[in-house]
A = this chain, B = another copy of it.
Amino acid sequence: MTRDMPGFFNVLAPDDALKVIRERLDPTVEKEPMATHEALGRVTAEDVRSPEDLPSFPRSTMDGFSVRSADTFGASEGLPAYLELRGEIPMGAASQIDLSPGQAAKAYTGGMLAGGADAVVMVEHTQPVDANTIEVLRPVAPGENVVQVGEDILNGDVVLPSGHVVRPQDIGGLLALGITGVRVARRPRVAIVSTGDELVPPDTAPGPGQIRDINSYTVSALVSGAGGIPVSTPLVKDDLEAQRETAARALAANDMLLFSAGSSMSNRDLTASVIDGLGSPGVLVHGISLRPGKPTIVGLVDGKPAFGLPGNPVSAMVVFDLLVRPTIYLLAGCPVPPEPPRVQAELLRDIASQAGREDYVQVKVVSRDDVLCADPVFGKSNLIYTLVRADGVVKVPLDKGGLYAGEVVTVRLY
């Protein structure tokens, strides 16, 4: 596909670039079975429905007494209702007691109600008279202090919808119903191809002009954090044939391709050529109205997403967060990724920007007189320590020329 064909976009806003992928991506989500208690962070691959009512018996929410509520109507401290105590329903046991009018049975929080009872009187609102009698000092309404059968969830209700990222409480919700296994989306496998004549592996001492490859490791960790399985290939030189061969093999064995190339123009052209040569349609977006991160390539190769990330670590991080993370979740069948951590903070210095471009400025979050503040880190985007020293980023929206000191801004922490 050549660059002037319909469907190719030259420089798009980040949201529009994501839309380009979102609209064209139609992944087949492969399902795999998973023990419920091991499903934390996984994406459900189908609707899960409740096989039963929860709770399955009326439960007391208080320590007190099972009663027939009508027996307590009109009761007060001055004129208590006297009830015959029939015994207790022990925790974990079926009720062996059926209440007749004028009777009560001891109830524990979480325990079963006595037969015939429709409410529980808190122990604080009663007084013992003798071993077999209590005074009830306040009336209770029918259903008071009781969880009814099915009040938590009903047989047949959707417990979790498909495409939902499983949280700790979801594990509890499933197990409460005896659902000990769920079908989740297979984790997307994300191949990371790191290219550059200047790169050596991190355990190698770089010679003059060489640097250690770090982007593939940073990106691997980001992929893991987004629920994907990172698959790194060995370093590739700046050579079209070598890159094409490595990329083709990587894409065949995985669900998505991330190119981490140098930032020079020739590197970017090389990445674009490789992605275009891999399959159809190839490169869809070349360049994003974003700083840092402009030299980003977004492509689709025979249904699999392929990104050319900028070589600068700061740029790569920003682009990953805006475009790659949501795409990994899309591949797992989850349209809305979990919200990342954010804090509100007062900006300490002006940030200049340019309308028509989204700017992401690294900041440190500091506390000044008990107020959270965002202090811009004005490091170059090719310095990894600009990222290491920062706590997160502040976005300057497309339509703004900058942000002013004193404004309250949202910091995306990472």
With beta carbons under 8 angstroms apart, the residue of B110, B217, B387 that contacts A382 is B110
Is A249 on the interface with B (CB-CB < 8 A)? no
Contact residues in B for A222 (Cβ distance below 8 Å) = 168
Is A279 on the interface with B (CB-CB < 8 A)? no
A222-234 Cβ-contact flags toward B at 8 Å (1 or 0):
1011000000000
Please report which residues of chain A, range 384-403, place their CB below 8 angstroms from some CB of chain B when the two chains form the complex: 384-385, 387-388
Q: How far is the CB of A322 from chain B (nearest CB, A)?
A: 15
- The residue on B at minimum CB distance from A320 is B168
**Is A176 a contact partner of B212 (Cβ separation < 8 A)?**
yes
Contact residues in B for A208 (Cβ distance below 8 Å) = 56-57, 93-95, 112
With beta carbons under 8 angstroms apart, the residue of B37, B152, B209 that contacts A112 is B209
A112 to B197, alpha carbons, bound, how many Å? 12
A47 to B203, alpha carbons, bound, how many Å? 20
- The residue on B at minimum CB distance from A160 is B388
Is A111 on the interface with B (CB-CB < 8 A)? yes
Q: A168-B221, A172-B313, A173-B384 are in contact. Are A341 and B344 (CB under 8 A)?
A: no
Please report which residues of chain A, range 258-291, place their CB below 8 angstroms from some CB of chain B when the two chains form the complex: 262-267
A70-113 Cβ-contact flags toward B at 8 Å (1 or 0):
00000000000000000001111111000000000000111110
With beta carbons under 8 angstroms apart, the residue of B152, B211, B311 that contacts A384 is B152
**Is A91 a contact partner of B152 (Cβ separation < 8 A)?**
no
Contact residues in B for A197 (Cβ distance below 8 Å) = 90-93
Is A46 on the interface with B (CB-CB < 8 A)? no
Contact residues in B for A213 (Cβ distance below 8 Å) = 175
**Is B110 a contact partner of A311 (Cβ separation < 8 A)?**
yes
Q: How far is the CB of A159 from chain B (nearest CB, A)?
A: 7
A364 to B203, alpha carbons, bound, how many Å? 48
Is A414 on the interface with B (CB-CB < 8 A)? yes
Contact residues in B for A171 (Cβ distance below 8 Å) = 214, 217-218, 221
Given A61-B380, A110-B198, A152-B383, 9 extra CB contacts under 8 A: A36-B217, A56-B208, A63-B265, A151-B383, A152-B385, A169-B387, A172-B218, A175-B202, A178-B212
The 9 residue pairs across chains A and B that have the minimum distance between CB atoms: A94-B208, A92-B198, A168-B221, A172-B218, A175-B202, A169-B387, A92-B197, A172-B214, A173-B388
